[in-house]
Amino acid sequence: MKLVLPSPEYAGEIAAYRREFLQQGGSMDGAGPLRRMEDPLEWIAFCQRLMRGEAEDWVADTQFLYVREADGKIVGMMDVRHDLNDYLAEYGGHIGYSVRPGERRKGYAGRMLALGLDYCWDQLGLDRVMVNCLEENEASRRTILKNGGVYERTVVEKRGERSRTIQRYWIARPRTMLVTGFAPFGGQNVNPSWEAVQALPDTIGPWRIKKLLLPVTFGRAAREAIQKAREIRAGAVLSVGQAGGRKAVTPERIGINLRDARLPDQEGQTPRDEPVVPEGPAAYFATLPVKRMAEAVAAEGIPCQVSCSAGTYVCNDVLYSLLHAFNGTAVRCGFVHVPYMDGQGEPSLPLSAIVRALEAIIREIGETGSDPQSRQQTDG
């Protein structure tokens, strides 16, 4: 299932969507003026102006089609308003949506709304979103609650003689964690860090997880991680890398201001005794609770140990750069090295154990703030 912007290739499907509503009844929500526009091309052109904020009397608004890839059918429609005008602020909210009559009761509305919310957080940068439903619409209420809606109050909209009773709900921007993994390097054809990151679910505890693959390249990997973290306004960044030869999953305590490579990186750079940041401090402590992360992994029966050195290669480069970039902010950053996965060499862990370890770590980060103890205690 995917959200797409209206385009002429969907003209036939758009007309069919409209027809189904006109024949079977129901309110064509989340479709702008589609009900009164018989020509799909006219509606598509309107949606394009709407998105640029050029439709008179409308706030800027992104119209989506919710399309089932298997057969190209439009299952639902949704529009996401970039702002609220007086009417929307009282009755309409940020997001309107509908599922066509023949495709209801299959859970589509909830998943479509989840994608719409992602758009609000990532593309529009909204902090909270209002989603409303008619008081009598039980299915819609359940969809909103499932997506984290919190009931605010009920309002009555008068339209001439008639009136509608509307429940208002607010959904808050979830905490987002950027989790990065690395590409294969050093003659290997997989990197367990990216294999494991890819296998993580999209939400863990209170965190919405965003995944990013990094190149094994000094400077560039760090820049891409920092840029992405800013773009999605991450509350935490967890980078993961491979440490062949280690037996345990190892949360890293320290990033140091040093590049010293034995192996050329992906762009052929082999820095020797260079700083990561010329005027930067010698080192930073990770701002994630490394001790508790290690305990959480050990509790799963997976070998784990806090490490005091992330090395002097690209992984350390990323850790130091993140800690430097987000020093003094609320964005907490850390790094976890993982052993080879089975089949790569010895010692190794099954990929499933590495995935479980990362899940335990992320859940633990959700439950605690940064851990001042990790700055004082040595590893013993």
Contact between 257 and ligand PCA by CB under 6 A: the answer reads no
Q: How far is the CB of 248 from ligand PCA (least distance, A)?
A: 15
Contact between 176 and ligand PCA by CB under 6 A: the answer reads no
Contact between 314 and ligand PCA by CB under 6 A: the answer reads yes
337 carries an active-site annotation: yes
Tokens of 10: 């969907």
Which sign does the torsion angle of CA 131, 134, 140, 146 carry? Answer: positive
Tokens of 81: 């308003």
| Of 370, 201, 182, nearest in space to 265 by CA | 182
Contact between 182 and ligand PCA by CB under 6 A: the answer reads yes
Distance CA 100, CA 108 (A): 10
Distance CA 222, CA 215 (A): 9
Nearer to ligand PCA, 75 or 319 (CB): 319
Q: How far is the CB of 106 from ligand PCA (least distance, A)?
A: 41
Q: How far is the CB of 71 from ligand PCA (least distance, A)?
A: 40
For residue 160, the tally of other CB atoms under 10 A from its CB is 5
For residue 352, the tally of other CB atoms under 10 A from its CB is 12
Catalytic one of 315, 324, 359, 364: 315
Q: How far is the CB of 242 from ligand PCA (least distance, A)?
A: 4
Contact between 276 and ligand PCA by CB under 6 A: the answer reads no
Distance CA 207, CA 74 (A): 30
Q: Applying CB under 6 A, what is the total number of residues that bind ligand PCA?
A: 12
Q: Which residue has the tokens 């784990």?
A: 304
Nearer to ligand PCA, 208 or 259 (CB): 259
Question: Which residues in 206-225 contact ligand PCA (CB under 6 A)?
Answer: 216
Is residue 158 exposed (0-12), middle (13-18) or buried (19+ Cβ within 10 Å)? exposed
Contact between 313 and ligand PCA by CB under 6 A: the answer reads yes
Candidates 143, 176, 191, 217; binder of ligand PCA (CB under 6 A) is 191
Candidates 31, 179, 315, 333; binder of ligand PCA (CB under 6 A) is 315
Residues 6+ away with beta carbon under 8 Å from 346 = 340
- Active-site positions read 252, 315, 337
Binding residues for ligand PCA, rule: CB under 6 A, are 182, 185, 191, 193, 216, 241-243, 311, 313-315
